[in-house]
A and B are shown apart, each in its own frame.
Chain A
């Protein structure tokens, strides 16, 4: 459904990089990440992204979006990754909007998507539960009907951005522990919601969320039928996975570039580090590894946009390769910088941390390998 031409994609890519280069220096990043409000991102930045059309890039034009597909969303995520953009693109634009688009009724889409494109709505995706691990369909939260309301009880593990979101997208089973899974849009400030706010490894904040009798109206449930949303969850988590892959690609390119630059300035043993062949080869491996990830992520985004029958497998493959590349590039970025790479002062350590989180969000490389292995025979036959 690629509605962007190659030129438009290039333009989107360039405008992202130009804007972030100008407005999102590492100094600015530190201020936003560690600001006194402890939100860990910038609300003014978010408003700018809305004006620039990034938030609605993959939303329909009727919702104030640009009508792009996953490839366009991937371009935005990669740009964000290159500067470690802290604002909640993943929770709001990738998952929140994704849930509404895929599970909502036409009326819900019409009502809920425009505020996202306009930057008026921050969301967090609260799906994973204690004991789930990376399993996608392990839901024990329950939403019971009570007149014209649903009453939700359940525990959700750490959800990125939940501390600041206007709305939490909560998965729960309807009626009982055996009921079909549905999504509920729950205001963060609703009664019965308790947040345990904490930072993740990369310093970004979120919260473990517990819901004790939180009440929402019937129209807070996405979709009008009582159908099981597990298929939607599967697609959404693929969408999340490929988006963090794209983000990681941006970050890996920045790490590789910064490391090349550093080795061109640092002298030891009377010559530039960049003149040592073993280090040149390492930089080459970083650069190739970066390209491997970019290529396979691009292929997966394309497969999703084309609704290719093997699209899911393409996403899993991209996640495994991205995890490999991220681990290698992130750790070599620090290794080749040496001691200075170990300090809080330098961006390189922060890229390492973000890459480590990207590697594990929605399942790590080992987990996706296992999915590929166990789905192998089925795919081979079809």
Chain B
């Protein structure tokens, strides 16, 4: 349909002020200061802030009320994200609330829901995603990590890679091969794995950012209770795709985009060319206008997918693909604009300034190191969650019938 029902603005305004007031009073000064400088947060700082949001139920506001969510309309979720971004709050983390949670409440047993959903709502549990493997990137269904039944356990052997935040995670949701003889999509199961299980080794991967965000995760005879399997054995690909659609909507992080735009506006104000602020340069004015148009478009696409998730239980695979495609391009375009400003400072990258305890002297604006870090890190925005090429294949096949 061309249009869909939308939420009334006056309710949203009240909610927006509530979020603003919350951020003002609850965001610790130290976290706010680090965010302003783009400094990385310690795990405990991040955790404490997410727990505060969790205590209001806001991390999972868009979940249905029956599963412990607040049943937010798309507009409310977008408003929440925008306000977080504008308040300079740390970005949300989607592994629990956007990825694991909806799979568990949609396909999980009552016991699994009892055991895991509350931990996600309150951020008592940090999750990571065990999808990619060295030989299974774009061809995710080609994964080889093996799970063999051994009584009431699975014995898991294999390797995952590019696992963001595995070093902070309590739990992993993982795709494993339970039937090597079936067609590749039909031999996969979906397991919830305790990261403290014996036999799991997490090794850091240093990125082009020079930071540690990604990991390799090795499994050697890791015992996972059968009760940790989501849904049916060998039907994991169905749940995997459901999760991917949610992941791709979640990849478009409105709060983060909002906060990047704030950083770049500040850079344009601070940076002079022959003594005049770049904010007054028609080239940059036009580029900022282009970004505003793309951002509004992406938000509108997103609202559609959030609405689909409310009515159909999940975003559409094709709609999520389109949103992810454009959202990742927008993210890169915003950060490129920031980088184009920073060329004027010789592209200095004081990456050490992103970590607590650095006491060197900054060259150029305080946003610089963070914008460069994010620029480098988000080169992967068109890779993770399925490459842009994969998203286009999904749309070609699913939406256009090619």
Partner of A343, one of B207, B274, B382: B207
Instruction: Enumerate the 3 nearest inter-chain pairs by beta-carbon distance, A residue then B residue, closest first.
Output: A133-B273, A360-B343, A158-B346
Question: In the complex, A200 Cα to B345 Cα: how many Å?
Answer: 10
Q: Any chain B CB within 8 A of the CB of A206?
A: yes
Main secondary structure of the interface of B (DSSP, over half): mixed
8 Å CB interface, B154-170 against A:
161-162
B137–A339 CB distance below 8 A: yes
B345–A158 CB distance below 8 A: yes
Partner of B273, one of A135, A279, A352: A135
Question: In the complex, A349 Cα to B207 Cα: how many Å?
Answer: 9
Q: Which residues of A contact B273 (CB under 8 A)?
A: 132-135
Tell me, rounded to whole Å, the shortest Cβ–Cβ distance linking B51 to chain A.
Answer: 30
B348–A198 CB distance below 8 A: yes
B346–A159 CB distance below 8 A: yes
Q: Any chain A CB within 8 A of the CB of B89?
A: no
Chosen A-B contacts, 22 in total, with CB atoms closer than 8 Å, are: A130-B272, A131-B275, A134-B273, A138-B275, A196-B361, A196-B363, A198-B350, A200-B347, A201-B349, A269-B139, A331-B379, A334-B208, A334-B379, A334-B383, A342-B208, A343-B205, A343-B206, A344-B207, A344-B208, A349-B376, A352-B379, A356-B347
B363–A157 CB distance below 8 A: yes
A359–B343 CB distance below 8 A: yes
Tell me, rounded to whole Å, the shortest Cβ–Cβ distance linking B113 to chain A.
Answer: 33
Q: Which residues of A contact B380 (CB under 8 A)?
A: 339, 342
Tell me, rounded to whole Å, the shortest Cβ–Cβ distance linking A258 to chain B.
Answer: 15
Q: How many residues of A contact B (CB 8 A)?
A: 48
Scan A316-349; emit 1 where CB is below 8 A from any B CB, else 0.
0000000000000001001100110111110001
Tell me, rounded to whole Å, the shortest Cβ–Cβ distance linking B320 to chain A.
Answer: 20
Tell me, rounded to whole Å, the shortest Cβ–Cβ distance linking A354 to chain B.
Answer: 10
Tell me, rounded to whole Å, the shortest Cβ–Cβ distance linking A240 to chain B.
Answer: 13
Using A199-B348, A206-B346 as known contacts, say yes or no to A344 and B383 having CB atoms under 8 A apart. Answer: no
Q: Any chain A CB within 8 A of the CB of B296?
A: no
Partner of B343, one of A160, A269, A364: A364
Tell me, rounded to whole Å, the shortest Cβ–Cβ distance linking B339 to chain A.
Answer: 7
Q: Which residues of A contact B227 (CB under 8 A)?
A: none
Q: Any chain A CB within 8 A of the CB of B372?
A: yes
Tell me, rounded to whole Å, the shortest Cβ–Cβ distance linking A366 to chain B.
Answer: 6
Question: In the complex, A350 Cα to B208 Cα: how many Å?
Answer: 7
Q: Any chain B CB within 8 A of the CB of A143?
A: no
Contact residues on B (Cβ < 8 Å of other chain), bracket: 35 or more
Question: In the complex, A345 Cα to B372 Cα: how many Å?
Answer: 19
B207–A342 CB distance below 8 A: yes
Q: Which residues of B contact A66 (CB under 8 A)?
A: none
Partner of A201, one of B161, B372, B383, B389: B372
A356–B339 CB distance below 8 A: yes
Question: In the complex, A360 Cα to B346 Cα: how many Å?
Answer: 8
A279–B347 CB distance below 8 A: no
Tell me, rounded to whole Å, the shortest Cβ–Cβ distance linking A328 to chain B.
Answer: 12
Tell me, rounded to whole Å, the shortest Cβ–Cβ distance linking B129 to chain A.
Answer: 13
A352–B346 CB distance below 8 A: no
Tell me, rounded to whole Å, the shortest Cβ–Cβ distance linking A368 to chain B.
Answer: 12
Question: In the complex, A359 Cα to B339 Cα: how many Å?
Answer: 11
Chain A: which residue is nearest B388 at the CB level? A335
Using A135-B273, A366-B283 as known contacts, say yes or no to A342 and B278 having CB atoms under 8 A apart. Answer: no
Partner of A134, one of B139, B344, B348, B364: B344
Chain B: which residue is nearest A353 at the CB level? B208
